Amino acid sequence: MRDEGQRGTFKVHSVRYNFVMNLLLTVLNTILPLITFPYVSRVLGADGYGKVNFAISVSNYFYLAACLGIPTYGIRACAKVRDNPGLLSQTVQEILIINSVSLVLSMAAYAGMVLMVPRLAQDKVLYAIEGINVIFNTIGSSWVFQALEQYDYITIRSLIFKVMAVAAMFLLVHTASDYRIYAATIVFGGVGSNTLNVIRLHHLVSLKRLPRGSYNFRRHLRPIFILFAQSAMSSIFANLDTVMLGVMKNDAEVGYYTTAVNVKLMLTSIVTSLGNVLLPRMSYYVRQGRRDLFERLMTLALSASLLMSLPLSVYFFAEATDSVLFLAGSQFLPAVPGMRVIIFAVIPIGLTGIIGIQVLTALDRELQVLVSVAVGAVADFVLNLALIPTQGATGSALATLIAESLVLVTQLYLARDLLNKPGVRSGILGSLLTYLGLSTTSGVCAFLAGTLCTGVITGIPLTPHGIVQCTVSILTGSGLSTSQIFLRLVVTGVVFFGMYALQLLVSRDSLFLKALGRGKRGLPEGRQEDQDLGGL
């Protein structure tokens, strides 16, 4: 499908194509930290790594204020008018002007805070670097490209600049004192991508000033501020734990917690890779009145989230020790208990990403999403106050898991009119039970494979006593080099996910077969208002 814009043309691809592009970007975002984190954590140590992440957490609050609720609202608003070039250009201009005002105010407040707060003022260079990141991430207006479903451009652009940033990191970061350079290499990837966005935006929409009286800013303000409040609450989950740990404990605890969170974020990005491309399409269905396609896509997305989140959570719970040792080294072993707790937050995060952002927001029910996130935010704050003094990073992990679960429970209640329909409810419950059972079976097989692998690479005989020794090694990581730990991760990973895929194939799981292109058609292809749902 081609839509004529005032500055050029753009093609809206199928959901399958968008999913593949976003999945490629997700894989990139997952692989690159696996490449860089082992190096960075060892070079910078827990203190240096914690300093950078504390600065990122602080600046993220001001990025949130600069963006308001525009990243989500902009996708929804532009997706609904993407077939009308005039309305699209007007909508983009109005939102950009609002965003410019919020950016100036936010950066003024950020500069004042850095200068006046002693802890921040001690490292002005680091916080200036993060301030540049805030500016370019805001003016990059990625929401326009997402609304127009330009996921191929987003993926290619990100690939180029992220690879360049990783190369710069390896070339320039060599000692613990290079933590500012490390922060700058991270920012470079975003600055490059967003600069390209600004250039390309002119080719998609007209930014020529409209006649006096043409702008209507008022219509955007209410949903933007509701979504801003929602984003502010959501940001608590992403940043409050880190900030409270830094204030109530120390940089080392921040480093341990961030190690566990990084693994969770990598898994979350995989689980949400489908949901992330759905908001423009779901908003488009609402505008076109296609509730049948809307509900079918919602059910498929929720089932797909469970298909991915359950096995990932089970596997990395079991392999937490080896994962931390391989990624960060033995100095980060205190991160293991927290990782085993927070890894299960991937499940509710995946589901709320669909229900809250892709479904309720597309239906203009963002106020309900705000309520659900507020419940979790309050719980997160209270639980952190109670748990951090005695449990440190592990306490923060538990607080996050409980808070995310409360968000899910609240959204399930608020969206009951959509989720309690027989076809939707039975499909989701069936997926939950099926994928949990398959994940458990796969976990048992992976444990046996890990035990055998440990015996082979260490020479421990697989007698009852030897099996106990191998089990202790799996739980503690003792007695193995980094290369041996990596080998065991590869073996257990291949066995776990191989068994999981085999069970799905043997049971002829409909969603899995659709993903392979061998099942009935299930997700939208081509022009949505004229066709049934196409293949996943």
pLDDT digits (tens, 9 = 90+) for 203-222: 888 888 888 778 888 889 98
Considering the domain architecture, whether residues 331 and 437 belong to the same structural domain is answered as no
Does the pLDDT value for residue 367 go beyond 80?
yes
Residue 12 pLDDT grade (very low, low, confident, very high; cuts 50, 70, 90): low
Does the pLDDT value for residue 33 go beyond 70?
yes
Per-residue pLDDT at 522: 46
Q: What is the average per-residue pLDDT within 20-27? A: 80
Residue 517 pLDDT grade (very low, low, confident, very high; cuts 50, 70, 90): low
Residue 20 token pair: 């593949």
Residue 533 domain flag:
no
Residue 237 pLDDT grade (very low, low, confident, very high; cuts 50, 70, 90): low
- Residue pair 191/164 in contact (Cβ under 8 Å)? The answer is no
Per-residue pLDDT at 1: 38
- Mean pLDDT estimate for the chain: 84
Q: What is the average per-residue pLDDT within 48-70? A: 87
Single out the residue of 530, 11, 72 nearest to residue 290, CA to CA: 530
Per-residue pLDDT at 6: 46
Dist CA 100 CA 286 (whole Å): 29
Considering the domain architecture, whether residues 158 and 170 belong to the same structural domain is answered as yes
Considering the domain architecture, whether residues 290 and 427 belong to the same structural domain is answered as no
Residue 524 domain flag:
no
Tell me the one-letter amino acid at 369. V
Residue 526 domain flag:
no
More confident residue, 531 or 384: 384
Per-residue pLDDT at 244: 86
Per-residue pLDDT at 343: 94
Per-residue pLDDT at 526: 44
Which of 420, 449, 470 terminates a domain? The answer is 420
Considering the domain architecture, whether residues 11 and 60 belong to the same structural domain is answered as yes
Q: From the centroid of its chain, how far is CA 290? A: 28
Q: From the centroid of its chain, how far is CA 334? A: 24
More confident residue, 296 or 399: 399
Considering the domain architecture, whether residues 408 and 437 belong to the same structural domain is answered as no
- Residue pair 329/38 in contact (Cβ under 8 Å)? The answer is yes
Single out the residue of 350, 323, 337 nearest to residue 267, CA to CA: 350
Which of 388, 420, 452 terminates a domain? The answer is 420
Which of 378, 393, 420 terminates a domain? The answer is 420
- For the entire predicted model, the pTM comes to 0.76
Contacts of 443 (CB under 8 A, 6+ apart): 314, 315, 318, 496
Q: What is the average per-residue pLDDT within 418-445? A: 87
Residue 56 token pair: 């990122």
524: left (phi over 0), alpha (psi -120 to 50) or beta: beta
Number of H helices, E strands in the chain: 23, 4
Q: From the centroid of its chain, how far is CA 213? A: 40
Residue 530 domain flag:
no
Dist CA 134 CA 80 (whole Å): 28
Per-residue pLDDT at 10: 63
Does the pLDDT value for residue 383 go beyond 90?
yes
Considering the domain architecture, whether residues 180 and 259 belong to the same structural domain is answered as yes
Considering the domain architecture, whether residues 181 and 255 belong to the same structural domain is answered as yes
Residue 531 domain flag:
no
Contacts of 308 (CB under 8 A, 6+ apart): 270, 271, 350
Intra-chain end-to-end CA distance of the chain, in Å: 19
Residue 476 pLDDT grade (very low, low, confident, very high; cuts 50, 70, 90): confident
Checking 207-214 for CB contacts under 8 A at 24+ apart, the result is 207/7, 207/89, 207/92, 207/93, 207/96, 208/89, 209/93, 210/90, 210/93, 214/90
Q: What is the average per-residue pLDDT within 445-471? A: 83
Per-residue pLDDT at 518: 57
328's enclosing H/E stretch is none
Considering the domain architecture, whether residues 371 and 453 belong to the same structural domain is answered as no
Considering the domain architecture, whether residues 443 and 401 belong to the same structural domain is answered as no
Per-residue pLDDT at 256: 86
Residue 190 domain flag:
yes
Burial class from Cβ neighbours inside 10 Å (0-12, 13-18, 19+) for residue 131 reads buried
Per-residue pLDDT at 171: 92
Considering the domain architecture, whether residues 436 and 364 belong to the same structural domain is answered as no
More confident residue, 527 or 152: 152
Per-residue pLDDT at 126: 92
Q: What is the average per-residue pLDDT within 169-191? A: 90
- Residue pair 283/79 in contact (Cβ under 8 Å)? The answer is yes
Cα three-residue angle 346-293-148, rounded to 5 degrees: 75
To 10 degrees, the CA torsion angle through 220, 222, 227, 233? 150
Q: Which domain holds residue 267?
A: 2-420
Contacts of 454 (CB under 8 A, 6+ apart): 460, 470, 473, 474, 480, 488
Q: What is the average per-residue pLDDT within 419-435? A: 84
Residues present in the chain in total: 536
Residue 528 domain flag:
no
The total number of structural domains in the chain stands at: 2
Express as a percent the part of the chain with pLDDT over 70.
92
Residue 454 domain flag:
yes
Considering the domain architecture, whether residues 173 and 222 belong to the same structural domain is answered as yes
Considering the domain architecture, whether residues 197 and 283 belong to the same structural domain is answered as yes
- Among the ranges 18-27, 306-315, 424-433, 482-491, which has the highest mean pLDDT value? 306-315
